[in-house]
Amino acid sequence: MSAAAYFADRRWADTPSGRIAYVERGQGPAALFVHGVLLNGYLWRQQLAELGDARRCIALDLLGHGHTEAAPDQDASVTANAHMLAQFLDALGIDRVDLVGNDSGGGICQIFAALYPQRLRSLTLSNCDAHDNWPPEAFKPFVAMVAAGGLGDTLTAMRADKNVFREALAPAYERPQQVSDATIDAYLGPFLDPQRLRELERFVNAFDCRHTLAIEDGLRRLQTPTLIAWGTDDAYFPLQWAHWLQQTIPGAGQPVEFDGARIFFPEERWQDFNRALRAHWSAHAPVSETTQGAPA
């Protein structure tokens, strides 16, 4: 799915946290997809394109990302984003959801799961922050650069020369050279807006493992059926974190490993990831909910 076709379907939901941009495809029980830092809902384009027969698939843009609009004083921390997810579901009239997260979006999903367990039908976590690994050691230079005020210049360089983006995110992709210019523009284009850039700065500057440490007890009580899907070649989120999540969340099964994959494998290996999602949803979807969440 091209960026133009994807964003042509963009909608907004008004919430107390801001005007949240999202794209949705399909019908049936609602599934909500949550991206990580620097990206937006376009990460999930192949899920929305291929899984609409099984779920009402919704990909939003987090606070500080994509086309979501937040007030200048809006808290952009990961916990604030978790509360925003609940507000977003309220705005769309959705009670329960199959929640899917990646990277920092997966950390936000853990916080949501601990704070709003009654709103989950199922949970899927792919390579993501967890416990005291936020930010990961390998990502701390980026966080320090943002704190020093260098984000604007860095993103300008990435937009001007797409290979700068590919080199910077090489640890996150198996094949960074195959990430198209159009995809990079889809991710970075919104940050041309100075306010959106400031929101991203607030998002990154608020990175702190206290957010995930605070909800560990909630995770240890979480009975929600949880799929842990993990790329094994990840400099930021090694496989040990998949096993930590599996041992911590009572509802989690044995991690599904994607050998040699990195953080953004839901984009690169979308066929395999979609198969794992279908199997997870099929195993845990109550028959009585087959029409829940269908758009009016």
113-132 pLDDT, tens digit each: 999 999 999 999 999 999 99
pTM above 0.75, yes or no: yes
Across the range 14-43, mean pLDDT stands at: 97
pLDDT, tens digit, 9 for 90 and up, residues 186-207: 999 999 999 999 999 999 999 9
At 291, the pLDDT band (50, 70, 90 cuts) reads very low
Amino acid at 97: V
Residue 296 pLDDT exceeds 80: no
Q: What is the pLDDT of residue 295?
A: 43
CA 136 remoteness from chain centre:
16
Residue 152 pLDDT exceeds 80: yes
d(CA 16, CA 81): 11
DSSP symbols for 127-154: EE--TT-SS-GGGHHHHHHHHTT-HHHH
